[in-house]
Amino acid sequence: MKLLDISRELTRAPVYPGDPPPVLRPLSHLALGDVCNLTAVDMCLHNGTHLDAPLHFLPDGGDAAQTPLDVCVGECYVVDFEGVLLGAQAEQIIERLHPERLLFRGRMEISPSAAFVLSGTEVKLVGVEAPSVAPPESAAAVHRQLLGGGVYLLEGLDLSAAREGYYFLFAAPLKIAGADGAPVRAVLLERTLSV
């Protein structure tokens, strides 16, 4: 078995336009005679690799602490895709793969028509490498469609070391009550055949 870390380093990850970047704030230092090193972090919950909870766009949606673990842990498929995913393309991918968790490798965005298609399937989670699944002009519509349809969103992935194919995904968010999203350390388990 091989583990692939598909998370971005938090302080160097791209930040969604308008979101504050994460900042580490030292509280104590061994070098200054303190008993330990201690650091606080100031950040948006949507910095780096993170999960969008339904509360992000739905006023009565569940928070990060309510995220069912079976959404973020289980078999997934990594698919190579570049550009804007349209509804017809989403239908073809779903008909071919029948995934519960789908991660897109490449520079891509989900259109409103693709969000409509995905939200009407057995897909529980969609992941992308960008800080957001949707282009800015349709971000609210795409997020509402997917989250309202029971599809959680894993954003800010680094799939550069993954090839297209099936994996086992572990991407549980931090358990934060009242949070509209949460940081994730996302890992793919690649099964290798022993000879």
Active-site annotation, residues: 56
Q: Concatenate the DSSP letters of all residues of 32-60 into one string.
A: GT-SS-EEEEE--TTSSSEEE-GGGT-TT
Residues 50-84 as b or e (16 or more Cβ within 10 Å = b) = bbbbbbbbeeebebbeebeeebbeeebbbbebeee
Give which of 189, 179, 193 is closest to 50, Cα–Cα: 179
Strands (E), the chain: 2-5, 23-28, 38-42, 50-52, 73-80, 83-85, 101-105, 108-110, 125-127, 152-155, 165-170, 181-183, 187-190
